[in-house]
Each structure stands twice: as C-alpha cells, then as structure tokens.
Amino acid sequence: MTCRLPSRFAPIALAAAAVSLSAVGTAHAQSADVLLDCSACHDSTASTPARPSVPGPFPDLSGQPARYIAHQLEAYRKGLRQHRQMEKTATALGEGGAAAMARLYADAPQPDLRPPAREEADTTGWSLVVNGAWERGVPPCASCHGVSADDTGRLAPILIGRDPAYLAHELRAYADSDRRSDTMGRMRAFAAQLTPSEIDAVADYYGAWRSQEDEP
C-alpha cells in the first residue's frame, strides 16, 4: 500500500489551492486552506496522516471515477455520509469545486495492480468478490466494482489495492446505515448481509492487490 507515485500528488495540492481561492470567499480563506489541502490526508505515500487530529482511515482517491468522487462530496454536503471534517471540506468546495477535484483525482494515474496469488488470497474474500453470496441476495462484488478507471461515469468506486482498514470501515458504516450515499440502498443491503469476519476478509482481499513496483 505504501509505494505509489509521489509526484502525482504535487499538482493535486496546487490545484486544491487554486480551488480554495476561486470557490471560497476571502473571509473563510484561512480555514479553507486547511480543509482544502486534500493531499495532506489523501496522500497514500504518507505512512502517517499529516493531520493526526482528524479521524481516519484515509482513502486514496486517485483514479476513482469522477462521477463517484463528485457524488461522495455531495453526500458529505447533504449529511448522507458523516465525517465532520469532510462535511466542512465538501461544503467549502461547493458543487463547482467538487466537480473540479473529481476530474483531477480521476485523471491521476493508477498503479498497474495485480491480484494476489491464489494460494495467498483470502479465500472467503475472493469467493465473495467473484461468486457473491446469492443465497443472501449478495451479487459478486466484481460485477459492479471494476478494476480500471476507464469508465469515469461510473458510480461504483475501484476497490483493488485500497487500504483494507478504510474498506472495512465503510462496509460497517453501510451495514449500520451510518453511510447512506448509495442512492438505491444496495450497498447497505449487501453489507448488512455480511458477517464481521466476511467484511474483514473481503477488505483484506482487495487490499492484497499489489503494484508491480511493490513486488520483491
């Protein structure tokens, strides 16, 4: 999870600063600078977040579909996702700033990730991803969560290679209906059908995808 391309985050920090100047009034500019410094928290190359007072885990946004990112920022604005600081960030960005950041992160290059070898993959997690659990109404995760960002109009995010702690945290939030950004309520329904150990297993499976650079 640690070895990614650090250089791609510099333009994102700069663009966030530009968004803060254009989208936010000067009266709020100072606090907005902190809220809008996306890479302080969304830099997957950092082993510890730059803002330890903010509760994580911190998701990596690069290469996510633009429509998904914009939809999440709207969900924070509307209180469908709860995170005090991200609610403020999304409100400060507004609709225009959110669209700009969504395009920027969607265009950030994604590392070329490989699945874990079958013998190393968590079999419970792997099975949920490719087979689902139809008897409980859960389709295969892979039927919606693709592995590349070429379809930027998609609403389902990319899960491969992402921090398992973050993925498990979000699945628990759906299961408890704390996160209600899924417009049809489907992720809430699926997550509520998973046991706590299945949630950890599927998050670990996705987290085990590795870029070639990380391979020994």
- The footprint of ligand HEC (CB under 6 A) covers 16, 35-38, 40-42, 51, 54, 56, 58-59, 61, 69, 71-73, 81, 83, 85-86, 89, 93, 101, 128, 138-139, 141, 143-145, 155-157, 159, 167, 169-171, 181-182, 186-187, 190, 202
Tokens of 116: 């874990």
Nearer to ligand HEC, 108 or 216 (CB): 108
Is 144 assigned a ligand-binding role in the annotation? yes
Q: What's the rounded Cα separation, in Å, for the pair 178 and 78?
A: 13
Is 41 assigned a ligand-binding role in the annotation? yes
Are 115 and 84 in contact by the 8 Å Cβ rule? The answer is no
Q: What's the rounded Cα separation, in Å, for the pair 16 and 21?
A: 9
Are 59 and 41 in contact by the 8 Å Cβ rule? The answer is no
Is 42 assigned a ligand-binding role in the annotation? yes
Nearer to ligand HEC, 44 or 89 (CB): 89
| Closest C-alpha among 24, 20, 22 to residue 39 | 20
Residue 192: CB atoms within 10 A of its CB come to: 16
Is 3 assigned a ligand-binding role in the annotation? no
Q: What are the binding residues?
A: 38, 41-42, 86, 141, 144-145, 187
Q: Residues comprising the binding site for heme c?
A: 38, 41-42, 86, 141, 144-145, 187
